[in-house]
Structure 1
Amino acid sequence: MKRRLLFGERMLLGDGTEPFNAVIPFRLRGTFKEEDIQQALHQIQAKHPWLRALITYDDQHIPWFEIPERSLPIPVRIVSRKGEDDWQEESKKEWQTTFLYEKLPLIRFVWIKGEEVSDMLFVLHHCLCDGGSAMAFLYEFLQVLDNPAADIGIEQPILGIQDVVPEAILNNRRQKLKAKFIGRLAATAIKCIPVGKKAVERQNDYLIHWKLDEAKSRELIAYCKSNDVTVNTFLSAAVLQAFRKVRGKLAFNKVSCPVDIRRFAPQIKNDHIFAFGLMIVLSAHDKMSFLDNVRLMQEAVERKTAKLNPYITMMVMESGHDALNNFTKLLKQGKSSNDCMFSNLGRIQIPHQYKAFMVDTIFSPSVIGPLGNTTTLVSSTFRGEMDFSFVGSEGYLPYSEALAIRDEMMKTVKQQIESLAV
């Protein structure tokens, strides 16, 4: 089985010399045997073909996912657990470690082994799948780790754009011409945008992690519900306000927010291994109260989300493979135009109590790559607690400013929750 990488996947893959890795960390309470972990990994590989895939190149040097005749297991690295924050240090190591994807799968596993508590990391190349896919196979891994006889099914993998875009749209002459025209227009525009001679020097990468306790998380959700705004929009507004207060004129007043394509393309199932995403960009409004600003931003979210069209977007991108190098160069060497990317995974629908172990926590994933500004905030909620992973690089956002932005965000959360109580 094989399929050619889509435009977005090729962009994330790059040339193999620079890692673009996502890390999914979680903490389990219990005791484990290495062979049981290996068996659970084997079972999720058996379900998902692309977790067994390598990257091969055709005679035009186009990359393909290809499953070898003899499947290779997910590599496992074991380290001794010494402290609560070991998972953060191991995450940073894994960001920097490239995948030898022509010889090994695009996923690996780290077991930070303790006597009664273990931290574990799934590490995957971002071209392989998004956060939704990662949460799906994490759920399956926990199922079969607890009960090897559990039936997690078999994925019918996506084999190309034809499995996502309905045939009536994909083969519609008008839609094909529209996609090609937009693609050519975008390719021409990209060539004309000036870029620097070299990419910004990232310098040291960092991870800042924190949680909101269950009570504060519940109060924040109640605040958002009472004001008819989503937690995602509230946190986006808090991020933008924090950047403005800390960075002043250096702030761009723009935050990029991924939107799950599964909301618009039902062909992509929750457990599909797939990496294509949609995006909206949000800005705050000056000279109004925080709550009025959030409400106005919520209107913008709904308006922009309604305009998203995953089918045409995919068709446009697939018409532009010849512009890939110019687009990648623009992302790497063009001037940064947004403050950060913010992704809220929402409530993680994974049980915490199993027969053989307990899931103490699932930390918010982290991801970092070479395509421009690395500043990324990911949030999620597990067992009622909101969890935040803030990733950045000194060359884009100094660590001291990132800490100040975190503090400003939490200050805003506290103030708004208190205003609801009043």
Structure 2
Amino acid sequence: MRRKLLFGERMLLGDGTEPFNAVIPFRLRGTFKEENIQHALNQIQRKHPWLRALISHDENNIPWFEVPERHLPIPIRMVTRKGEDDWKEESAREWKTLFNYGELPLIRFVWIKGEEVSDMLFSFHHCLCDGGSAMAFLYEFLQLLDRPSAEIGVENPILGIHDVVPSEILTNRKQKLKAKVIGRLAATAIKCIPVSKKAVDRQKDYLIHWKFNKEMSQELISYCKSHEVTVNTFLCAALLQAFKKVRGNAAFNKVSCPVDIRRFASQIKGDHIFAFGLMIVVSANQKISFSENLRLMQESVERKTSKLNPYITMMVMESAHDVLKNFTKLLKHGKSSNDCMFSNLGRIQIPHQYKEFTLDTIFSPSVIGPLGNTTTMVTSTFRGEMDFSFVGSEGYLPYAEALAIRDEVIQTVKLQLDPIAIL
């Protein structure tokens, strides 16, 4: 089984010399055997062919996902658990570790082994899949770790754009022409944009992590419902305000937000291994109050989201493979134009109580790569607690400023939920 990488996947893959890795850490209470962990990993590989795949290049240097005939298990790296924050150190180690994708799968497993508590990490190349896919195979892994005989089914994998874009759109002459024209215009623009010869020096990468307890998390959700805005919009507004307060004129007043393509393309199932995403940019009106901004931002988010068209977007990108190098160079060498990427995975629908162990927590994923500004905040909610991972690099956002931004976000949430308590 094999398929060509799509434009977005090729962009994330790069030339193989720089990692673009995502990490999902989680904490279990219980005791485990390595053979049971390996069995669970083998079974999720059996369900999902691309978790077994290598990457090969054809005579035109085009990369392909290719599933080898012989089974290549997901590698397990074991370390002894010394403290509560070991998962942060191992996450940072995994960000920097290249995948030898010509010989091993694009996914690894780290077991931070303790006597009664273990932290575990899935680390995968971002070209393989997104956070939604990863949560699906994490759920399956936990089922199998608890019950080795559990049935998790078999994925019918995506084999190309034809499995995502309906044939009546993909073969429509008008839609094909539209995609080609937009693609050519974008390609011309990309080639004409001047970029620096040197990429920004990222310097040291870092991870800042925090949680809201159940009470605060529920209060925030209730506040958003009463004001008819999403938690996502609220946190975008808090982020933009925090960047402005901390960075002043150096702030861009722009947050990029990934939008799950599964909301628009029903062909992509929840357990498909797939990496393509959509994006909107959110800004604030800095002349009005926070609460006034929420309503306007929510309207803007809904308007922009309603205009997203995953099918034309994919067709446009697939017509632009010839400018991939130019586009990648623009992302790497161009000046940063947004403050942060913000992704909200929402409530994670994974059980926490199992027969053989307890899933204590799932830490929000982290991801970092070489394509421009690395500043990224990811939030998720598990067992009623909102969890935040804030990743960045000193060369884009100094660590001290990132800490100040975190504090401002927390302060903004507290102020909106209980303005009297802050005084």
Settle same-fold status: TM greater than 0.5.
yes
Quote the Cα distance in structure 2 between the aligned partners of 1:327 and 1:156: 32
Q: Compute the displacement of 1:419 (Å).
A: 4.2
Asked if 1:221 is matched to 2:221, the reply is yes
**Structure 2 counterpart of 1:82, which letter?**
K
Structure 1 unpaired stretches of 5+: none
- Show CA shifts across 1:16-38 (max 9, x none): 00000000000000000000000
**Structure 1 counterpart of 2:159, which letter?**
L
Residue 223 of structure 1 contacts residue 420 of structure 1 at CA under 8 Å; is this kept in 2?
Answer: no
- Show CA shifts across 1:115-168 (max 9, x none): 000000000000000000000000000000000111100000000000000000
Structure 2 unpaired stretches of 5+: none
Aligned to 1:310: 310
Quote the Cα distance in structure 2 between the aligned partners of 1:147 and 1:286: 53
Aligned to 2:336: 336
**Structure 1 counterpart of 2:375, which letter?**
T
Aligned to 1:63: 63
Residue 19 of structure 1 contacts residue 99 of structure 1 at CA under 8 Å; is this kept in 2?
Answer: yes
Aligned to 1:122: 122
**Structure 2 counterpart of 1:106, which letter?**
L
Quote the Cα distance in structure 1 between the aligned partners of 2:356 and 2:380: 25
Aligned to 2:92: 92
Aligned to 1:406: 406
Q: Compute the displacement of 1:71 (Å).
A: 1.6
- Show CA shifts across 1:226-282 (max 9, x none): 000000000000000000000000000000000000000000000000000000000
Aligned to 1:361: 361
Quote the Cα distance in structure 2 between the aligned partners of 1:256 and 1:289: 21
Quote the Cα distance in structure 1 between the aligned partners of 2:149 and 2:398: 49
Map 1:124-273 onto structure 2 (within 5 A). Answer: 124-273=124-273
Instruction: Please state whether the residue corresponding to 2:271 is helix, strand or coil.
Output: coil
Map 1:4-153 onto structure 2 (within 5 A). Answer: 4-153=4-153
Quote the Cα distance in structure 2 between the aligned partners of 1:8 and 1:319: 12
Aligned to 1:287: 287
Quote the Cα distance in structure 2 between the aligned partners of 1:71 and 1:239: 45
Map 1:379-418 onto structure 2 (within 5 A). Answer: 379-418=379-418
Quote the Cα distance in structure 2 between the aligned partners of 1:421 and 1:97: 45
Instruction: Please state whether the residue corresponding to 2:149 is helix, strand or coil.
Output: coil
**Percent of aligned positions that are identical:** 80
Quote the Cα distance in structure 2 between the aligned partners of 1:104 and 1:328: 25
The alignment yields a C-alpha RMSD, in angstroms, of 0.9
Residue 20 of structure 1 contacts residue 125 of structure 1 at CA under 8 Å; is this kept in 2?
Answer: yes
Quote the Cα distance in structure 2 between the aligned partners of 1:114 and 1:139: 22
Q: Compute the displacement of 1:289 (Å).
A: 1.3
TM-score by length of 1: 0.99
Quote the Cα distance in structure 2 between the aligned partners of 1:194 and 1:62: 26
Quote the Cα distance in structure 2 between the aligned partners of 1:108 and 1:92: 14
TM-score by length of 2: 0.99
**Structure 2 counterpart of 1:76, which letter?**
I
- Show CA shifts across 1:358-406 (max 9, x none): 0000000000000000000000000000000000000000000000000
**Structure 1 counterpart of 2:350, which letter?**
I
Q: Compute the displacement of 1:287 (Å).
A: 1.7
Quote the Cα distance in structure 1 between the aligned partners of 2:282 and 2:85: 33
**Structure 2 counterpart of 1:370, which letter?**
P
Q: Compute the displacement of 1:190 (Å).
A: 0.3
| Cα pair distance change 1:228/1:421, threshold 3 Å | farther
Q: Compute the displacement of 1:286 (Å).
A: 1.5
Quote the Cα distance in structure 2 between the aligned partners of 1:194 and 1:412: 38
Instruction: Please state whether the residue corresponding to 1:56 is helix, strand or coil.
Output: strand
Q: Compute the displacement of 1:421 (Å).
A: 9.4
Instruction: Please state whether the residue corresponding to 1:286 is helix, strand or coil.
Output: coil
Quote the Cα distance in structure 2 between the aligned partners of 1:294 and 1:89: 36
Q: Compute the displacement of 1:420 (Å).
A: 9.6
Q: Compute the displacement of 1:288 (Å).
A: 1.2
**Structure 1 counterpart of 2:385, which letter?**
E
Quote the Cα distance in structure 2 between the aligned partners of 1:10 and 1:139: 27
Quote the Cα distance in structure 2 between the aligned partners of 1:325 and 1:259: 25
Aligned to 1:320: 320
Instruction: Please state whether the residue corresponding to 1:24 is helix, strand or coil.
Output: strand
Instruction: Please state whether the residue corresponding to 2:416 is helix, strand or coil.
Output: helix
